[in-house]
Structure 1
């Protein structure tokens, strides 16, 4: 693994429920940096990204808190691009999943054929017109594929798009009709919980790496904590039952780290305000340390 830059983004307005903006500092207070140090993971740079005072692109986005989301996306895109250009591994700690637009904008300005492994209870492929909630954490993959009014290049000039054939969804189980139709029409790889239970997490991760990495020049992991069943990760804003077990999540993360094929990663949607005795925050911290320590071993 290249040297690590940790970008914390205390932003939660892309979600419908407050609290995810508190996750980065909360997870730091629980001891993330100390645990990484004990595992021999060297953080070359630690930076907080806040999107204040930046102009939004001249495009109307009829969604909740769109101006704030876009400003944060612009700031994050610039930060991620700079990290990648310096030859380091960007790790983004959110915050809600709308942040992925900024992450992917920064990455696609560098990687011209980026693969994405999206571990999430949701596909996040609604658009401004199909979103039932109007919350922008539900549109980042549509934006990244060039299917929305907002595009990654609005956040960062020179950003590209993600090809449907290089996207892999893992753990999806709460999909809206427009998302289901898109997945079927484009043949997007989607490993639902029934597939994971039938094939096993080892086979699913191996296939995900193959699909996302097929002729790709980089692979990004976007991990939403709501991919895990709320019985083990209750502290998130949009929980969905019958998800990954914590052990399945641990094994998935371990295998992805050991593959040495990831070029970037983000963890999102931990909400300390909704947690029970820090259960979700502690699990997220464990998974982050597992990923980064596996990558260096």
Structure 2
């Protein structure tokens, strides 16, 4: 049983709404380590990596450029020590550091596969992004496209191969980023497909893809993939998302699945959460589902899978 190592990725400067920088601290205050240990799962707090906001004078991209190598070193160290990294963001630009570090640790054994659950494609480059917000660029960077300081962490690019990446739940995106993913051949399950097939079937296919020919795989979950009725505390809410119960079912036992190398949960903005902390509590439940529940079969109805995992 690997030790779960929580890594706090305190960055909001890559987003328009910077309050998600305080998401990791909000989750840390909820006693995650103690709860996992009580349930018999070894867990510890790892590094806290904090963005240098003084770099904002040079722009949002400069902040992310400075932050990314530090987070990459943290996730690399956890993986190399045979721990299970759970990275708590922060805006989704932190994914560049998270998965660059894990890819570097796995590189001697082979490639990294990744499931990207998000309302957005996050596949802009500085040339295609109208907002210039780096939290819309991390998947492109991991695929080797965009700013060289983000694509070439550890001195090499292409941390992810297109055929070993699956995006689930996208419903808000721009033509430039969509064109890049289409050209590369990345499998994207847009929200209508998720609603038609169900998240269980989509996850089952995604797992087949990210496990094929890889040394390990992971999941990055942007909280805005979930319907805003269930997760209001996000900076870029999009109506018609995945129900929280379905996501909980799909992620149950994730850490127990062969080859799973890490999990990332991003974009919780405590300042936008409701008065009873619905989004933060959901994050806690998601983490516990990933780390504590037994792996469940994903071919059936998600409600049934969730009941088996409970």
| Same-fold call, TM cutoff 0.5 | yes
Do structure 1's residue 19 and structure 2's residue 14 form an aligned pair? no
Instruction: Name the CA shift for 1:295/1:52 in 2 (closer, same or farther; >3 Å).
Output: farther
Aligned to 1:231: 229
**1:283 partner SS:** helix
Distance 1:4 1:258 in 2: 11
Deviation per residue, 1:248-272 (Å, 9 max, x gap): 1111111634534311111100000
Contact 2:9 2:88 in 1 (8 A): yes
CA distance in 1, matches of 2:61, 2:279: 28
Cα distance in structure 1, aligned partners of 2:139 and 2:52? 24
Shift of 1:170: 0.6
Query: Which residue in 1 is equivalent to 2:73?
Result: 78
Q: Could you tell me which residue of structure 2 aligns to residue 293 of structure 1?
A: 292
Counterpart for residue 41 of structure 1: 41
Deviation at 1:79, TM superposition (A): 1.0
CA-atom RMSD, angstroms? 2.4
Structure 2 distance, partners of 1:278, 1:102, is 28
What is the distance in 1 between the residues matched to 2:126 and 2:211? 29
Structure showing greater relative contact order (alpha-carbon pairs closer than 8 Å, 6 or more residues apart) = 1
Contact 1:21–1:94 (Cα < 8 Å) also in 2? yes
Q: What is the alpha-carbon distance in structure 1 between the residues aligned to residue 83 and residue 155 of structure 2?
A: 21
Moved more, 41-50 or 81-90: 41-50
What residue in structure 2 maps to residue 125 of structure 1? 123
Partner of 2:63: 68
Structure 1 residues 162 and 139, CA, compared in 2 at 3 Å: closer, same or farther? same
Q: Residues 236 and 270 of structure 1 are in contact (CA less than 8 Å); yes or no, is this contact kept in structure 2? A: yes
Task: Give 4+ residue runs of structure 1 displaced > 6 Å after superposition.
Answer: none
**Partner residue of 1:28?**
28
TM-score normalised by L of structure 2: 0.87
How does the TM-score come out when normalised to structure 1? 0.91
Q: Residue 201 of structure 1 is aligned with which of 185, 199, 202? A: 199
CA distance in 2, matches of 1:149, 1:33: 36
C-alpha distance 293-132 of structure 1, shift in aligned 2 (>3 A): same
By how many angstroms is 1:230 displaced? 0.7
Q: Tell me how far apart the structure 1 counterparts of residues 199 and 52 of structure 2 sit (CA, whole Å).
A: 40
Alpha-carbon distance in structure 2 between the residues aligned to 1:259 and 1:251: 14
Cα displacement (A) at 1:40: 1.8
Instruction: Name the CA distance, whole Å, in 2 between partners of 1:243 and 1:27.
Output: 22
Long gaps (5+) in structure 2? 296-308
Counterpart of 1:219 in structure 2 is: 217
The answer as to whether partners of 2:2 and 2:42 remain within 8 angstroms in 1 is no
Distance 2:169 2:151 in 1: 28
Q: Secondary structure at the match of 1:130?
A: coil
The CA deviation at 1:88 is 1.4
Kindly state the Cα deviation for residue 124 of structure 1 after the two structures are TM-superposed. Answer: 0.5
- Is 1:109 aligned with 2:104? yes
Query: How big is each residue's C-alpha offset from its partner over 1:262-286, in whole Å with a ceiling of 9 and x where there is no partner?
Result: 1111110000000112111110111
From the two aligned structures, give the one with the greater strand fraction: 2
Structure 1 position 29, deviation (Å): 1.7
CA contact (8 A) 1:164 1:188 kept: yes
Report the counterpart of residue 59 of structure 1 in structure 2.
Answer: none
**1:153: how far off?**
5.5
* CA shift for structure 1 position 295: 5.9
